[in-house]
């Protein structure tokens, strides 16, 4: 190989240059940006290995770039400047003071030799900035980045390594935006801020320690987080340790001014006179979970040498899905002139406060749960507590809000969140303000005291709830104070639902305002007074409310008018009184809607009004009862109006009052309405009255409304009736008497129920008809042709219609051509009508059983009976009235249906006439009996069924039977004709019928003879004719055995005092099929009785040879025998 040898002279020169350019080993070099001026100078420049910007004391040299060499910035000779850093390596950096300014290092990276926590590798004797990334070499569990000196390093670079870090002396490390310090791996206590005067300040950058496996998560001198993030975590997983960041002994502080500080716990090692301070000033303290295996501990434990104070920015704590406890009191910063920022709880998980905290800026729970663990006269927290949607504020100790003025919670804002849950009581003290936007307040324990509270419910899409935790919980209003409840109207029907029982200590009221709805739905509630001044309120569901004072709806609590509504769907309400429209000078509409439940009043505010509507003039009030019961007890009144407008409107349920006053105040401007459309109103001895001078309207019926007497009463008020049939107005005397003298009008009808008497003495033009179910309806004073009632009247079984007084107009007789005040249909259904001296005009009397006692004139009246098992009876006297249209022949038809009764219609009344020839007719298949003394002179016609004359018909009118049967045991004065299809038969069974005039029997007319013995007119039928009798050819004699008798006769079944005009009986049809006897046949003959008197005699003889032997000719077969009169 060929070697190259330098000349000797050249080698010496090169060696001299090398010696001049290289520093000594392990040198400390000072930055010299001015290589011209002798000595080290400050200034801006470039730090790399190519430029000799370093001074070794003798001259400028290149940077050697080893970890054994140390850099010094700041020669004190000139201004500092910006240093552009290349890729360099150093054992340590010292910043001394320059002539002026501070150094800023950028570029890099800088490789830095790790040092122990007691040996700084960056010494800050003057402030400086490093924006270069730093790479640590030689870092381990005892070596890392250590800052010393008294200056401040502003760090905008990055450094990440597995090792520890320390701050010494009074040095400060400020990590600015873009800067980060990350300690990774698994080493011992990674953060050792050994000196109490040192400070780590996070000013927009980040610090994290994630590999710690020491006994703590780190030791700190002063830690200030202004912005950015600080994260320190231990992963040692030792069951005997609870891992915390420890503020070292001395007057150290953790200042949370911004950003996020994430820790597993915080404590201090301070002792003696030294104090550590935890300052909450707007930064977030975030809870990191302890390792899976660790000892129990407290996130911020109470410590005699630790003060946790809340400054203007407030304490922001994020539990981050973990549970944490703070036993150290969070106090108001005593150096703060104004209010502090309070406590803000963020994140899922539960934060528990176990001490009395004196911060003054309020408490806000945004997420998760805040638990209050102490209570008493001074609560865990004070001032305002706010719980946002989804968050929970709970308390495990009684009276966690406290009950001493100034040191308790006095305002609670529930904005969709939940307060309470544990079964312990609490105080809501010192004019407490509860504001809810949705959300739930849970009350536990036995007593939850509310002192002079104001409850404000804001508009929301969800219902705000106040609920019990356990069965013993109550909301108690305290010391005679009232609760003001202001409810806005949200999208739900119920805006505030109170299901916890409400009670009181003293005399306490609930004053409800606002357009939204409150619902009190607990099982038991007891307080003095409920004032619904505005908007709706509900009392229910199925619970009990007792108010010693009253229920006020539309009262004077607020001005401005509007409307107020109380709904009672169910449950039980007992109160002193209920008053509506108690707002002087302000127009208001007040409404109570009772759709169920039981309401009872026990006293009154004035005028004996247990229920008082329309108090002040500007009020318009309604009590609407559709179901349930309303009891105005202890003799108090139901008052519809005082000076305002009031309506009691009942469509169902049952209301009871001793007296109903429709308008109460004389000289007032009241306008009262009582409208009983449905349900039942029970009225006592006070009746229904008008004590005022204003309008008093009474309406009854429409859906079966009932006024029921609990004692006898009277009323002079006019009433309007609505509804017909079962929907008509009902008056139930209930064993008492009701007297109504006011006019009953309207299109509705009237139903009379119950034992006792209902008396109507006014002129009542209602048109819907009258039905009497029970007791007596007395119609008194009909006059001038006008009845006190009109239209249809029905009298049901056991009931009575009684007409009394008046001038005999009775049922009325006004013209049929105009609306008439008369009864035109009288339905007697096993009932009783006592009519007295009356007129009945253009009417029909329809009887299904029952009794009609009448003495009066019937003009164009029809009497009809319907099939019944009971006999319909008419007693007294009937005068058939002739008027202009039928003056000569007034007519009274009886249409009698055939029922189960033996006699369907019994007329014992004497029938007469006023003028002309009054006539009657018998229609229908039933049996009618006349037992009176009748003097009408017109005809009597039987078209169907049976007419039995058991009295006397003294009139001269003819009696014609065109169909059916004429019978009886009485006397008929006029001539009698039995036409074809008609039948005559004495009695109803064998009997004696007397005909004073002529008797005529046409072809197919039937003379019926019942044979039950040998005694004429007693055991066999006898028709006794006072003049002559004529039987036309084809007339029929029908013979029947009666009562099991048989005999040969003779039987004289018809006698005529002036003879029988027939020459013989050859044309007569003799029907003996009903009285057959073996080989015998019936024969009929005319026999003389002496003088002109003759008889038709029946005899039973053997047939047929026996008849021939007797010389009698057979003219028919089967017992039909014709026989001439003997010569």
Tell me what percent of the residues of the chain surpass a pLDDT of 70: 93
**Residue 755 DSSP label:** S
Per the listing, tokens 């006029």 go with: 974
In the predicted structure, residue 867 carries a pLDDT above the cut 60: yes
> Bridge-partner residues for 58, per DSSP?
none
Q: Give me 377's structure tokens.
A: 């006269």
pLDDT for 22 = 42
- 551 and 688 part of one domain: yes
Q: 488 with 527, same domain?
A: no
pLDDT value, residue 187: 63
Q: pLDDT tens across 743-799, in order?
A: 999 999 999 999 999 999 999 999 999 999 999 999 999 999 899 999 999 999 999
How many domains are there within the chain? 4
- CA 496: distance to chain centroid? 13
The pLDDT of residue 9: 37
Q: How far is residue 822's CA from residue 841's CA, in Å, rounded to a whole number? A: 8
Question: Are 544 and 682 within one domain?
Answer: yes
Q: How far is CA 382 from CA 300, 377, 390, 410, 670, in A?
A: 20, 11, 22, 7, 52
Residue at which a domain ends, from 666, 700, 734? 700
Confidence band, pLDDT 50/70/90 cuts, at residue 18? very low
Whole-number Cα distances in Å, 70 to 63, 64, 73, 93, 178: 10, 10, 10, 6, 26
Do residues 384 and 363 make contact, with C-beta atoms less than 8 angstroms apart? yes
528 found inside a domain: yes
- Is residue 619 predicted with pLDDT exceeding 60? yes
- Tell which residue, 877, 884, 763, 880, has the closest CA to residue 816: 884
Is the preceding peptide bond at 660 cis, omega within 30 degrees of 0? no
One DSSP character per residue, 129-160 reads EE-S-EEEES--SSEEEEEEESSEEEE-SEEE
Q: What count of other Cβ atoms lies within 10 Å of the Cβ of residue 14?
A: 10
Q: How far is residue 907's CA from residue 932's CA, in Å, rounded to a whole number?
A: 7
Range of the domain at 75: 45-134
Higher pLDDT residue, 246 or 961?
961
- Angstrom CA distances, 1107 to 175, 648, 1046, 1070, stand at 156, 92, 20, 16
Q: How confident is the model at residue 12 (pLDDT cuts 50, 70, 90)?
A: very low
Is residue 633 a contact partner of residue 661, using CB atoms and an 8 Å limit? no
Query: 389 and 535 share a domain?
Result: no
98 assigned to some structural domain: yes
**pLDDT tier for residue 329 given thresholds of 50, 70 and 90:** very high
Phi, psi of 124 (to 5 degrees): -105, 90
Residue 778 has what pLDDT?
Answer: 97
705 CB-near residues (< 8 Å, 6+ apart): 650, 651, 676, 677, 678, 679, 680, 681, 723, 729, 730
Count of CB atoms situated within 10 Å of the CB of 1059: 20
What is the overall mean pLDDT for the chain? 91
On the question of pLDDT at 1123 being above 70, the answer is no
Query: 129 and 77 share a domain?
Result: yes
In the listed set 99, 134, 169, which residue is the last one of a domain according to the structure? 134
How does pLDDT run across 629-649, given as a tens digit for each residue? 999 999 999 999 999 999 999
Alpha-carbon gap, residue 132 to 111, rounded angstroms: 10
Q: Provide the 8-state DSSP code for 725.
A: G
Nearest CA-CA partner of 541 in 499, 578, 491:
499
**Degrees to nearest 5, angle at CA 954 with 951 and 960:** 85
- Please give the structure tokens belonging to residue 353: 């406060």
With a CB cutoff of 8 Å and minimum separation 6, the contacts of 780 are 759, 760, 761, 788, 803, 804, 805, 806
Distance separating alpha carbons of residues 200 and 246, to the nearest angstrom = 14
Instruction: Express as a percent the part of the chain with pLDDT over 90.
Output: 77
The span from the CA of 495 to the CA of 514, in Å, is 11
The answer as to whether 318 is a domain residue is: no
To the nearest 10°, report the CA torsion of 913, 915, 917, 923: -40
Number of Cβ within 10 Å of residue 293's Cβ equals 11
Check if the beta carbon of residue 193 is closer than 8 Å to that of residue 168: no
Average pLDDT over residues 434-444: 98
Same domain flag for 437 and 573: no
Average of pLDDT values for 424-431? 92
Q: How far apart are CA 714 and CA 1104, in angstroms?
A: 83
pLDDT, tens only, 930-946:
999 999 999 999 999 99
Beta bridge partners of 771: 751, 794
Q: Are 539 and 671 contained in the same domain?
A: yes
Whether residue 975 is found in the same domain as residue 1054: yes
Mean pLDDT of 824-843: 93
Backbone angles phi, psi at 87, to 5 degrees: -80, 105
Give the span between the Cα atoms of 254 and 257, in whole angstroms.
9
Query: Residue 671 has which token pair?
Result: 């306008």
- Position 635 in a domain: yes
Shared domain check, 468 and 580:
no
Confidence of residue 116 (pLDDT cuts 50, 70, 90): confident
CA nearest neighbour of 640 among 579, 597, 595, 553: 579
Residue 697 has pLDDT above 50, yes or no: yes
Find how far residue 1063's CA is from the centre of its chain. 95
Tell me, yes or no, whether 453 and 546 share the same domain.
Answer: no
Lowest-confidence region among 138-147, 417-426, 513-522:
138-147
Handedness of CA 27, 28, 33, 38 (dihedral sign): negative
* Number of Cβ atoms within 10 Å of the Cβ of 883: 16
Instruction: Determine the Cα–Cα distance for residues 340 and 310; give it in Å rounded to an integer.
Output: 6
**613 and 555 inside one domain:** yes
Residue 1126 in this model has a pLDDT that exceeds 60:
no
User: Is there a domain that residue 764 lies in?
Assistant: no
Q: Would residue 34 count as lying in a domain?
A: no
For residue 752, the Cα-to-chain-centroid distance in whole angstroms is 35
Distance CA 992, CA 985 (A): 9
pTM of the model: 0.80
Q: Does residue 328 lie within any of the structural domains?
A: no
3-state helix, strand, coil in the chain (%, to 5): 0, 50, 45
**pLDDT confidence tier of residue 188, bands split at 50, 70 and 90:** low
Residue 75 CB partners (closer than 8 Å, separation 6+): 30, 31, 32, 39, 40, 41, 42, 55, 96, 98, 99
Residues 834 and 738: their CA atoms lie apart, in Å, by 19
What is the rounded CA–CA span in Å between residue 1119 and residue 42? 169
696 shares a domain with 552: yes
SS3 state at 160: strand
**Whether residue 444 has pLDDT greater than 80:** yes
Digit-coded pLDDT (tens) for 1091-1105: 999 999 999 999 765
CA distances for 838 relative to 329, 397, 891, angstroms: 99, 87, 18
Residue with tokens 């509504």: 565
Q: Which residues contact 387 (CB under 8 A, 6 or more apart)?
A: 364, 365, 393, 412, 413, 414, 415, 417, 418, 419, 439
Structure tokens at 305: 């040498």
Question: Could you say which DSSP state residue 946 is in?
Answer: E
Residue 1106 has pLDDT above 60, yes or no: no
> How confident is the model at residue 302, as a pLDDT?
93
Distance of CA 734 to the CA centre of its chain: 33
In which band, very low, low, confident or very high, does the pLDDT at 1110 lie, cut at 50, 70 and 90?
A: very low
Q: Which of 478, 495, 512 is the last residue of a domain?
A: 495
pLDDT-based confidence at residue 852 (cuts at 50, 70, 90): very high
| Residue 27 forms part of a structural domain | no
């Amino acid at each position: 190989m060929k070697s190259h040898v330098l000349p000797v002279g050249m080698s010496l020169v090169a060696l001299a240059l090398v010696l001049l350019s290289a520093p000594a080993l392990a040198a400390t070099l000072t930055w010299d940006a001015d290589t011209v001026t002798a000595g080290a100078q400050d200034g801006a420049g470039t730090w790399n290995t190519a430029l000799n910007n370093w001074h070794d004391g003798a001259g400028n040299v290149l940077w050697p770039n080893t970890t054994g060499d140390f850099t010094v910035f700041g020669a004190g000779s000139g201004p500092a400047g910006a240093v552009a850093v290349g890729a360099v390596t150093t054992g340590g950096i010292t910043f001394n003071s320059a002539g002026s300014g501070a150094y800023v290092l950028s570029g890099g990276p800088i490789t830095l030799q790790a040092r122990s926590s007691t040996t700084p590798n960056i010494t800050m004797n003057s402030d400086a900035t490093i924006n270069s990334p730093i790479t640590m070499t030689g870092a381990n569990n005892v070596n890392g980045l250590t800052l010393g000196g008294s200056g401040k390093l502003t760090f905008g670079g990055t450094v990440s390594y597995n090792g520890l870090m320390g701050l010494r002396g009074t040095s400060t490390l400020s990590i600015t935006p873009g800067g980060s310090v990350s300690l990774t791996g698994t080493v011992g206590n990674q953060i050792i801020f050994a000196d109490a005067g040192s400070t780590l300040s996070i000013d927009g950058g980040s610090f994290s320690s994630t590999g710690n496996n020491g006994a703590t998560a780190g030791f700190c001198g002063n830690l200030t987080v202004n912005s950015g993030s600080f994260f320190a975590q231990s992963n040692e997983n030792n069951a005997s340790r609870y891992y915390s960041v420890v503020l070292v002994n001395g007057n150290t502080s953790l200042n949370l001014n911004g950003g996020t500080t994430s820790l597993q716990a915080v404590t201090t090692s301070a002792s003696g006179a030294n104090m550590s301070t935890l300052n909450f000033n707007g930064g977030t303290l975030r809870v990191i979970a302890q390792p899976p295996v660790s000892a129990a501990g407290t996130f911020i434990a109470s410590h005699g040498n630790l003060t946790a104070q809340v400054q203007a920015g407030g304490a922001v704590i994020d539990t981050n899905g973990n549970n944490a406890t703070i036993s150290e009191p969070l106090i108001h910063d005593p150096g703060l002139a104004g209010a502090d920022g309070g406590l803000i709880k963020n994140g899922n998980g539960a934060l528990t406060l176990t001490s009395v905290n004196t911060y003054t800026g309020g408490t806000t729970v945004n997420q998760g749960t805040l638990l209050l663990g102490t209570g008493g006269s001074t609560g865990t927290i004070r001032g305002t507590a706010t719980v946002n949607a989804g968050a929970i504020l709970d308390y495990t100790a009684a009276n966690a809000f406290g009950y001493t003025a100034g040191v308790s919670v006095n305002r609670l804002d529930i904005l969709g969140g939940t307060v309470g849950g544990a079964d312990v009581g609490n105080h809501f003290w010192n004019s407490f303000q509860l504001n809810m936007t949705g959300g739930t307040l849970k009350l536990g324990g036995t007593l939850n005291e509310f002192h002079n509270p104001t409850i404000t419910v804001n508009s929301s899409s969800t219902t705000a709830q106040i609920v019990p935790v356990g069965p013993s919980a109550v909301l108690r209003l305290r010391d005679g104070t009232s609760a003001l409840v202001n409810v806005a109207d949200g999208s739900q029907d119920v805006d505030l639902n109170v299901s916890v029982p409400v009670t009181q200590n003293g005399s306490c009221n609930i004053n409800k305002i606002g357009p939204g709805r409150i619902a009190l739905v607990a099982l038991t509630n007891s307080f003095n007074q409920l004032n619904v001044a505005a908007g709706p309120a509900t009392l229910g569901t199925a619970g009990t409310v007792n108010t010693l004072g009253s229920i006020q709806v539309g009262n004077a609590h607020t001005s401005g008018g509007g409307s107020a509504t109380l709904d009672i769907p169910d449950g039980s309400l007992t109160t002193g009184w209920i008053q509506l429209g108690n707002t002087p000078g302000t127009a208001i509409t007040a409404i109570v809607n009772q759709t169920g439940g039981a309401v009872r009043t026990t006293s009154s505010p004035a005028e004996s009004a247990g229920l008082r509507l329309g108090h002040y003039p500007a009020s318009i009030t309604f009590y609407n009862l559709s179901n349930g019961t309303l009891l105005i007890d202890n003799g108090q009144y139901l008052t519809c109006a005082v000076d305002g407008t009031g309506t009691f409107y009942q469509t169902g349920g049952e209301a009871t009052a001793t007296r109903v006053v429709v308008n109460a105040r004389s000289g007032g401007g009241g306008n009262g309405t009582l409208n009983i459309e449905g349900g039942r109103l029970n009225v006592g001895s006070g009746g229904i009255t008008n004590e005022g001078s204003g309008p008093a309207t009474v309406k009854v019926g429409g859906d079966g409304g009932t006024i029921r007497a609990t004692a006898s009463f009277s009323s002079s008020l006019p009433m309007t009736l609505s509804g017909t049939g079962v929907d008509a107005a009902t008056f139930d005397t209930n064993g008492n008497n009701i007297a109504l003298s006011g006019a009953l009008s309207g299109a509705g009808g009237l139903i009379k129920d119950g034992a006792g008497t209902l008396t109507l003495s006014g002129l009542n033009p209602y048109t819907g008809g009258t039905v009497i179910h029970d007791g007596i309806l007395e119609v008194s004073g009909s006059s001038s042709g006008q009845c006190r009632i009109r239209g249809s009247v029905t009298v049901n079984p056991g009931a009575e219609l009684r007409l009394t007084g008046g001038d005999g107009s009775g049922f009325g007789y006004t013209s049929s051509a105009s609306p008439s005040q008369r009864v035109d249909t009288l339905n007697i259904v096993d009932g009783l009508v006592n009519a007295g001296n009356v007129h009945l005009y253009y009417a029909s009397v329809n009887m299904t059983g029952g009794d009609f006692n009448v003495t009066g004139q019937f003009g164009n009246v029809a009497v009809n009976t319907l099939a019944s098992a009971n006999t319909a009876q008419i007693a007294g006297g009937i005068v058939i009235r002739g008027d202009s249209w039928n003056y000569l022949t007034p007519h009274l038809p009886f249409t009698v249906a055939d029922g189960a009764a033996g006699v369907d219609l019994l007329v014992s009344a004497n029938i007469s006439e006023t003028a002309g020839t009054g006539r009657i007719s018998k229609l229908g298949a039933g049996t009618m009996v006349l037992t009176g003394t009748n003097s009408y002179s017109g005809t009597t016609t039987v078209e169907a069924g049976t007419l039995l004359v058991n009295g006397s018909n003294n009139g001269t009118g003819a009696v014609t039977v065109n169909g059916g049967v004429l019978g009886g045991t009485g006397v008929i004065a006029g001539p009698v004709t039995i036409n074809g299809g008609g039948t005559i038969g004495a009695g109803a069974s064998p009997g004696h019928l007397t005909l004073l005039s002529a008797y005529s029997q046409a072809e197919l007319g039937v003379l019926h003879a019942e044979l039950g013995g040998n005694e004429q007119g007693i055991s066999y039928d006898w028709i006794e004719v006072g003049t002559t009798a004529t039987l036309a050819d084809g007339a029929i004699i029908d013979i029947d055995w009666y009562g099991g008798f048989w005999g040969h006769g003779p039987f004289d079944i018809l006698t005529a005092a002036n003879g029988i005009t027939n020459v013989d009986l050859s044309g007569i049809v003799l029907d003996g099929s009903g009285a057959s006897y073996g080989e015998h046949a019936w024969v009929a003959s005319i026999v003389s009785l002496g003088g002109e008197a003759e008889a038709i005699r029946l005899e039973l003889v053997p047939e047929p040879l026996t008849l021939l032997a007797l010389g009698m000719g057979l003219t028919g077969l089967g017992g039909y025998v014709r026989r001439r009169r003997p010569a």
